[in-house]
Chains A and B, each alone.
Chain A
C-alpha cells in the first residue's frame, strides 16, 4: 500500500472526520479515496449512534439539560460515530450559526438544533437558513421573539446577514446596507416562539416556532434592491442567490475543511488565500442549486484540498476527539467522561457555549501559553498510556517489523501510525537522536512499548502536531 495513499486518506479523515487509526486508514485506502468521500457524504449509509445505549448508561445526557452533560453527549458521539462527516458538519455549523447555552430557555433546544445541522447540514443552503430562521433556539438567542411589527429588534436580522449568510462584504465592498438590515428585520416580525411554559413545578419544556401574522409587518420592503411585501422566506431566498452568500459559504467551507483563513471580520477586505479554490466552490454552489454536500464533494476531490495537508490548526474539539479515536478510549460510556470533555473547555472551546454570537476565533488563536500546555499534556498523557488499545496496536505493528528496529524507523513508524504526520527535518533529527541515545530498540522486550509511548509523546508535543 503506497505511503502517499495512506497520507492522503489520513488527511481526508482528519478534515472530513476526527482522524482515524492506521487500521481504519488501510481499510479505507483499500476501498479507494473517491468511494470514501462518497460514503462520508452519505452518512445514512452507516449506522447511527444507538441512542438507547446512551440512554441506558448516561440517562442524564438525554433526560437532563445541563451544559456539561450535553457537552459529554456530543463529545461521545464524535468519538464513536460511524458517520464522522455528519458530526463534523454539525460542528461546522455550530461554529457559524452560534447559539449559546447561557441564553437558552430550555437547554436541550440546542441538541434539537444540532440534529437539524446533522440532517440538513449537507443539503440545500436556503433550506438550512429557513431551518435556522425557524429554530426556537436561534429565535430566542437572537431575540427575534422580541421583534414586533411596531417595534423591531434587529438582532436576528443583522446577524443573519453579517454572520450567517453573506458577511459584511467582499472584494472591498459592502454586501448590504443598514437599510437592508432594517428591512430584513421587518420581514421577520411575527417569527416567534410559543410562550414559554413556567419552569416550576413541571420542569422545562421544548419551545416551538410559530408565525404570528398579527405581529407581522406586511408592508412593502426593499431588500438588496428588490421590492415587495416580503416575508421571512422571501428574504432567505433573496439572500441565497447573492454572490456574497456563495462567497461566504465557500470561504467558510475552505476555512474549516481546507486551510486557515484570516478571521471572518477581515473577509471584506482580505482576499481569500486561494481565490481559484473559492471560485470553484462558488460555481458549484450555483450549479448544484446551493447544495453544501455537492460543494464538499468538489472540495474533497480537488487538488487544492489534497495539497493542503497540515495547513490548519486543530481546534480543541478536534484535538481531544481525534486523540480519543486514535488511542481507542471512551468507546463506551464510562466514568471520566466529564473530565475528558472539560479538557476541550480548558483548551479554549466551551462547546455549546461560544463566547459570542461570532463564535470562536480559530486557527492560531486557539493557542496561548495556557491552552498550549493543556493541549500538549492531554495528548501526551493519552498516547503515552500503553494500556490503551490504540497505543497497543501501534506498539504491536512496529514490533512485528523485526527483532530490532532502527531509531529512524521508530520515529517514522510512529509518525505513520499517528496519521502520516511530517516533521521539520531539525525536529526529526532531534527525535531520532533521542531514540538512538536510549539504546538499541529490541521489539521483544517489555521496554519497547514504553519507548514507543515516549516517542509518541515527544511527537504530539511538537509544533507540527498542532496542525491537521
Chain B
C-alpha cells in the first residue's frame, strides 16, 4: 500500500450469451441436478468442491485458487423479478437498471458522470471491444472504446507514420473550431477531440508495461491484459469494461465442450489479471465483477441448455470478503420459475454495494432505487 489512498477501480467482465449457472457453480450432491442434466452435466467427482453441496466447474481452477485465498465473493441466485429470457432485453436490464421500461442510460455511464462530473479525464471509463455496451452510455460522458490497444486510435489505417501524424494534426485543427458552432457541431467536435486525446494517452500504455504473467491468446485474455496495461499506466481510469465475444456463452448445443473452453479462458484471464496486478503491487484498489444476463434452463435439451433465469456472479479482489453470498436456488420443481432457477439476490443489491461501499458513490440514483447492499466488501 502506498501512503496516499488510491482511487478505487472497478473492472467488469461481461459473459455475453447467458452463462449456465448450474454448470458453473454446481450443486453436485443434489440428485435433482443429475436428474435434470442427464446429458449436459459435470460428473460430481470432477467438481472443484467448495463444500459438500456445491463446487466450481473443473475448468475454473484459477478462480478456485483465488477463492481459496479468500478473494472471491460468489453471488448465488442473482437476477431480478419477472426475468426476461431475451439476451438483448435482459442484458439491457442489467445495463440500465430499468426492468419495466426501456432505459437508455447505463449504470456505469451514470457512475462515470458522478466520478468525473467536469469531464477532466477522457479516460475515466474505458471499454475494450468494439461497440460500446449500454452499461457505459450516458449523455455527455466520454468513454473510449478500444478494439485493439496496440493499434487503437483515429485514422489508424494510414500506415505511414509521418502521414498519419499530419492527418491527425489536421484532424485536431479542423475539429477545434467547430466548438461553439451550435449544439450538434459542438458535441461532435468535443467527441472527436476526446477520442483523439484518449487515443493519444492510451497509446502510451503498452510500451510502459512489462510483466512476467503470460496471458492466453483468446479475446478475453487479451482484453484483460489490456485492462492491466491501462490500469498500470496510471491514467486515472476508474471503470474498465470488457465482454466475452458476442453471445459466446449462449450454449444451446455442444455445451460441455464449449462451456469448458469458455471457462478455461475466462478463469485463466481473470486470475492472470489479478496475478499481474499483484506482481506490480497494484491490485489492492481493483475489484473485478464477472456477470452474465441470465442463467439457463434447469433441464438440458440433449446437448445444451436453453435460456433461463437465476444466474451467478463473481466479485473478485483483495478488498473482497470471499465466500458464498445468498442461497443456492432450489432445484425442486415447485420452487422453479417456469422451469428456471428462481433468483433470490437482486443484481441491483450487488451494484449498490459496489457503487457505495467500493466506489464511494450514492447508489440510489444510479440503480434507480434503494436496495439492500451485500456485505462482500
Interface residues of A (CB under 8 A from B): 100, 102-103, 313, 342, 345-346, 348, 353, 355-358, 361, 363-364, 367-374, 376-377, 380-381, 384, 424, 426-427, 430-431, 434, 454, 457-458, 461-463, 466
- Knowing A348-B131, A466-B188, say if A431 contacts B195 (CB, 8 Å): no
Greatest chain B CB density within 10 A among A353, A380, A461 is at A461
Min C-beta distance of A362 to chain B, whole Å: 12
Residue of A nearest to B88 (CB): A102
Assuming A345-B131, A371-B131, A463-B178, what are 10 further A-B pairs, CB within 8 angstroms? Answer: A370-B145, A371-B145, A372-B191, A377-B156, A380-B157, A431-B170, A431-B174, A454-B163, A457-B158, A463-B185
Q: Which residues of A contact B284 (CB under 8 A)?
A: none
Q: Which residues of A contact B278 (CB under 8 A)?
A: none
Min C-beta distance of A357 to chain B, whole Å: 8
Min C-beta distance of A440 to chain B, whole Å: 17
Interface residues of B in 64-117 (CB under 8 A from A): 86-89, 92, 102, 104
- The answer to whether B188 and A370 have CB atoms under 8 Å apart is no
- The answer to whether B156 and A102 have CB atoms under 8 Å apart is no
Q: Which residues of A contact B143 (CB under 8 A)?
A: 368-370
Q: Which residues of B contact A374 (CB under 8 A)?
A: 130-131, 145
Q: In the complex, A342→B245 CA distance in Å?
A: 13
Interface residues of B (CB under 8 A from A): 86-89, 92, 102, 104, 122, 127, 130-132, 134, 137, 142-145, 147, 153-158, 163, 166-167, 170-171, 173-175, 177-178, 181, 184-185, 187-189, 191-192, 194-195, 198-199
Min C-beta distance of B177 to chain A, whole Å: 5
Min C-beta distance of A297 to chain B, whole Å: 29
Q: In the complex, A197→B246 CA distance in Å?
A: 28
- Knowing A377-B156, A380-B158, say if A368 contacts B191 (CB, 8 Å): yes
Q: Which residues of A contact B154 (CB under 8 A)?
A: 373, 376-377, 461
- Knowing A348-B131, A364-B184, say if A377 contacts B155 (CB, 8 Å): yes
- Knowing A361-B104, A376-B154, say if A458 contacts B127 (CB, 8 Å): no
- Knowing A370-B144, A424-B177, A466-B188, say if A355 contacts B102 (CB, 8 Å): yes
- The answer to whether A384 and B134 have CB atoms under 8 Å apart is no
Min C-beta distance of B245 to chain A, whole Å: 12
Q: In the complex, A342→B92 CA distance in Å?
A: 20
Greatest chain A CB density within 10 A among B122, B144, B167 is at B167
Min C-beta distance of A282 to chain B, whole Å: 27
- The answer to whether B167 and A458 have CB atoms under 8 Å apart is yes
What are 15 A-B contacts with C-beta separation under 8 Å? A102-B86, A342-B130, A363-B184, A364-B187, A367-B187, A370-B143, A381-B157, A426-B174, A427-B177, A430-B174, A434-B166, A454-B158, A454-B163, A454-B167, A457-B157
Q: In the complex, A454→B166 CA distance in Å?
A: 10
- The answer to whether A368 and B89 have CB atoms under 8 Å apart is no
- Knowing A355-B102, A358-B102, A458-B167, say if A346 contacts B131 (CB, 8 Å): yes
